[in-house]
């Protein structure tokens, strides 16, 4: 029985990961430590809340007393650190909390794991700290080329700078202490349960509510989109097969301009959901400050060395995603109104 400490497991990717892992393995247990910020929502975990192999802990990864207590109470084998402030626009307005959670929180987790896993000058075998990172740490590309694991880090936003700092600290624990770590750097994710401040769910939500669709700048910035379950599979593979100390880029060669994404969403909704929604909702607005032009991942290493392959192509993934939001309008209303706090109060009293 392996025990995972998953942080940020009530967020978008974390909640998909927790459910994916509990579905796939009978012989694991997961402790989910989450602060439940605006982005964390226990409704995302409804289907596993009574699973005997799942435990929720409400708290902050920066709280060293709490984090140490979790390691004292449980024999943690793997830490999977999703917990983060994750939205670039928020980081431009409020950088401090990004530095605190993304850097200091990561160090707090690293220290607790290092102390709990120490075995003389070395570490107990079978342990691993996996840092869930992002391709944004590499900065931006022009119209050609791809990010590889050896591309120098050159982040531009406070979000990506805080994530790059965390990556370097994680790497330093390997270089200095030989602590067992891996880092995964994934491209933009999309899929069910993503908070509607990010491009795809925001556009779906606005379409369904006949609101304008804000396009930053000229709309020709490029992102490399990966269906969230393919990211979860990559993390599972890196935990089980990743070579200690290594970084793995994760992406599926799905580059799209923002305008292409927005038109795809509008056209699908127009044809299948609400014919009154059309491209006239598109509205060009002021560009994001420091807006990275293009991200594109070269995933050759994780494919060749660990055998990971993305399984959901963009054409299928975007339909699954739009359909999910259409069927789960209540979820969208809850996360945008803060109503999930009531859900939390009702189901998780006393935790």
> Where in the sequence numbering do the catalytic residues fall?
135-136, 159
Which residues face 222 on adjacent strands?
257, 294
Q: Which helix (H) or strand (E) holds 239?
A: helix 228-241
Q: How far apart are CA 131 and CA 321, in angstroms?
A: 26
* Residue 186 sits in the site that holds ligand TYD (CB under 6 A): no
Of the candidate spans 60-68, 279-287, 293-301, 321-329, the one that interacts with ligand NAD by CB under 6 A turns out to be 60-68
The Cα angle at residue 48 between residues 47 and 50, in degrees rounded to 5: 110
For residues 110 to 139, the per-residue mask of contacts with ligand NAD, x marking binding by CB under 6 A and - elsewhere, is ----------------------x-x-----
| 8 belongs to the binding site for ligand NAD (CB under 6 A) | yes
> Which of these segments, 63-71, 162-170, 213-221, 324-332, binds ligand TYD (CB under 6 A)?
213-221
| Residue with smallest beta-carbon separation from ligand NAD | 11
Tell me the backbone φ, ψ of residue 67, rounded to 5 degrees. -65, -40
d(CA 122, CA 177): 8
Report the alpha-carbon distance of residue 144 to residue 12 in Å, rounded.
30
Nearest distance in Å: CB 32, ligand NAD: 9
Closest CA to 5 of 86, 67, 52, 64: 67
Q: Which is nearer to ligand TYD, 162 or 258 (CB)?
A: 258
Q: How many residues bind ligand NAD (CB under 6 A)?
A: 31
C-alpha closest to that of 49 among 15, 7, 77? 15
- Hey, is 133 helix, strand or coil? strand
Hey, which residues between 89 and 108 contact ligand NAD (CB under 6 A)?
A: 101, 105
Which of 4, 5, 6, 10 is the binder for ligand NAD (CB under 6 A)?
10
Least distance CB 264 / ligand TYD (angstroms): 13
Q: Does 216 bind ligand TYD (CB under 6 A)?
A: yes
Select the residue interacting with ligand TYD from 32, 221, 249, 254 (CB under 6 A).
221
What's the DSSP call for residue 53? T
Rule CB under 6 A: is residue 258 a binding residue for ligand TYD?
yes
Residues of this chain, 25-54, that bind ligand NAD according to CB under 6 A: 33-37, 39-40
Q: Which long-range contacts (CB under 8 A, 24 or more apart) does 241-244 make?
A: 241/306, 241/307, 242/128, 242/130, 242/182, 242/306, 243/182, 243/305, 244/128, 244/174, 244/180, 244/181, 244/182
Question: How many residues in the shown chain lie near ligand TYD by CB under 6 A?
Answer: 12
Q: In the complex, which residues of this chain contact ligand TYD (CB under 6 A)? A: 88, 188, 198-199, 202, 214-216, 221, 223, 258, 288
Could you list the residues that contact ligand NAD (CB under 6 A)?
Answer: 7-8, 10-14, 33-37, 39-40, 60-62, 82-86, 101, 105, 132, 134, 163, 186, 188-189, 195
């Amino acid at each position: 029985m392996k025990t995972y400490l998953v942080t940020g497991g009530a967020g978008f990717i974390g909640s998909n990961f927790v459910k994916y892992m509990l579905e796939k393995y009978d012989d694991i247990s997961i402790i989910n430590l989450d602060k439940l910020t605006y982005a964390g929502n226990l409704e995302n975990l409804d289907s596993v809340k009574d699973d005997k192999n799942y435990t929720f802990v409400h708290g902050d990864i920066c709280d060293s007393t709490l984090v140490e207590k979790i390691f004292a109470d449980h024999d943690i084998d793997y830490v999977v650190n999703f917990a983060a402030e994750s939205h670039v626009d928020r980081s431009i307005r409020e950088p401090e909390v990004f530095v605190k959670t993304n850097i200091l929180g990561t160090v707090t987790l690293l220290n607790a794991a290092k102390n709990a896993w120490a075995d003389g000058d070395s570490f107990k075998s079978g342990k691993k700290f996996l840092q869930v990172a992002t391709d944004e740490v590499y900065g931006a590309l022009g119209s050609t080329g791809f990010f590889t694991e050896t591309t120098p880090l050159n982040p531009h936003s406070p979000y990506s700078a805080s994530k790059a700092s965390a990556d370097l600290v994680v790497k330093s624990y390997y270089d200095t202490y030989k602590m067992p770590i891996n880092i995964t750097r994934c491209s933009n994710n999309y899929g069910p349960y993503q908070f509607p401040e990010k491009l795809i769910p925001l556009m779906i939500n606005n379409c369904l509510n006949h609101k304008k669709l804000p396009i930053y700048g000229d709309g020709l910035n490029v992102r490399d989109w990966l269906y969230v379950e393919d990211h979860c599979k990559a993390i599972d593979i890196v935990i089980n097969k990743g070579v200690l100390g290594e970084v793995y880029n994760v992406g599926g060669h799905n580059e799209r301009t923002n305008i292409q994404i927005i038109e795809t969403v509008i056209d699908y909704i127009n044809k299948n959901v609400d014919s009154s929604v059309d491209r006239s909702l598109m509205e060009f607005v002021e560009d994001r400050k420091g807006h990275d032009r293009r991200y594109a991942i070269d995933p050759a290493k994780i494919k060749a060395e660990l055998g990971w392959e993305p399984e959901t192509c963009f054409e299928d993934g975007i339909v699954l995603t739009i359909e999910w939001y259409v069927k789960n309008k209540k979820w969208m209303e809850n996360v945008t109104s803060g109503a999930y706090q009531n859900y939390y109060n009702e189901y998780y009293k006393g935790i």
